[in-house]
Amino acid sequence: MTTVLAIETSCDETAVAIVKNREILSQTVASQVATHQVYGGVVPEVASRQHLEIVNACIEQAIATAAQPWSAIDGIAATCAPGLVGALLVGLTAAKTLALVHDKPFLGIHHLEGHIYASYLSDRQLHPPFLCLLVSGGHTSLIRVADCGEYEQLGATRDDAAGEAFDKVARLLGLGYPGGPAIDRTAQAGNPQAFALPDGKVSRPEGGYHPYDSSFSGLKTAVLRRVQQLTAAAGADLLPIADLAASFQATVARSLVQRTIRCALDQGLTTIVAAGGVAANSELRRQLHAAAATHDLTVQFPPLSLCTDNAAMIGCAAAERLARGDRSSLALNARSRLHLTAANQLYQLA
């Protein structure tokens, strides 16, 4: 049994967890949503400063809740890529310091690998191979998971990520930040068939459309044009906000589900795992479960608390990495970008 203390500070959540293999012993998350709401999005410098102010308290709380002595902790991990560099450095520095002080192995974890491992925490019997639909504010990908560290990206977004599109459309509709939960709540009172919107097909140079890639910039523009038309005709006060939110949400979900199901069938994979913040969306969950059932496919969604950024998913990935003998150099630095397929590079000791 491998026990890891993990720190996640890639964006605007300061999170610390202690995980034993696939069991969460403690989890602390300090959200910065209220801080960034006034800006309509995350301000990197502000996020970094808040991480710095709260990370020690989060570490202390996670240790106290788990009631584990330092002798029971086998390694220290932190998200090191991708993300906001200043924010990543806070968690990375804290983790390296703990590793040095307590003479523990250190592991840098790829943020997207962590999202994949969120489902292992909710289903301890989950094993590869499976298809992961990873949808968040910065990423929209279809990933074939063959094993720990063995990932093949089969589909991606060509422009906006799904979560980014939610944030932009929510701002357009005056629903505030973060956009995903705001649109989901508003859409419950709307008609998802009120407006026909494009699902963002990606053309191929040789003709036809890419079966797995997504595009959301055209959808976002279509909502903007519709809002402009409705405003000109009836005025901003009479905009059917709920119908617009529901139609947009249903279109995003339909686009993702169609590509995911086709990819799973083409790849001969019978299990689909959803991950990332957008995996919390109720319409995506409903549509994907329904579509998978018609093809006898299994779908796994993490609980809502493990869809958004958290340290437990980082700890779960680190526990498996550590059990396999992986270690990171203390010279490892934060990286704003790193493709998931390059995650194994984080364990090439200097």
Give 297-306 pLDDT, tens digit per residue. 999 999 999 9
Cβ 59 vs Cβ 102: under 8 Å? no
pLDDT on residue 118: 97
Length of the chain in residues, anyone?
350
pLDDT on residue 282: 98
Average pLDDT over every residue of 61-71: 95
Indicate the range of 23-37, 304-318, 326-340 predicted with least confidence.
Answer: 23-37
pLDDT on residue 208: 85
Mean residue pLDDT across the chain: 95
User: Is 3-118+307-347 in CATH node 3.30.420.40?
Assistant: yes
pLDDT of 235 above 80: no
pLDDT on residue 63: 96
What pTM did the predictor assign? 0.94
Structure confidence by residue, pLDDT tens digits, 15-54: 999 999 999 999 999 988 888 988 888 998 999 999 999 9
Q: Sketch the domain layout of the chain as residue ranges.
A: 3-118+307-347, 128-304
Question: In this structure, what token pair is assigned to residue 110?
Answer: 């790829």
pLDDT on residue 34: 84
Question: In this structure, what token pair is assigned to residue 307?
Answer: 């869809």
| Short-list 189, 195, 214, CA closest to 203 | 214
User: Among 3.40.50.150, 3.40.50.620, 3.30.559.10, 3.30.420.40, what is the CATH number of 128-304?
Assistant: 3.30.420.40
pLDDT on residue 205: 86
Query: How far is Cα 122 from Cα 178, in angstroms, rounded to an integer?
Result: 25
Beta strands, E only, the chain: 3-8, 13-20, 23-31, 75-81, 106-110, 130-135, 140-147, 150-156, 271-275, 298-300
pLDDT of 322 above 80: yes
pLDDT of 236 above 80: no
Cβ 172 vs Cβ 222: under 8 Å? no
Tell me the percentage of the chain whose pLDDT exceeds 70: 99
Question: In this structure, what token pair is assigned to residue 4?
Answer: 């890891």
Average pLDDT over every residue of 267-283: 97
Long-range contacts of 302-305 (CB under 8 A, 24+ apart): 302/118, 302/119, 302/121, 302/122, 302/274, 302/275, 303/122, 304/280, 305/27
Structure confidence by residue, pLDDT tens digits, 105-151: 999 999 999 999 999 999 999 999 999 999 998 889 999 999 999 99
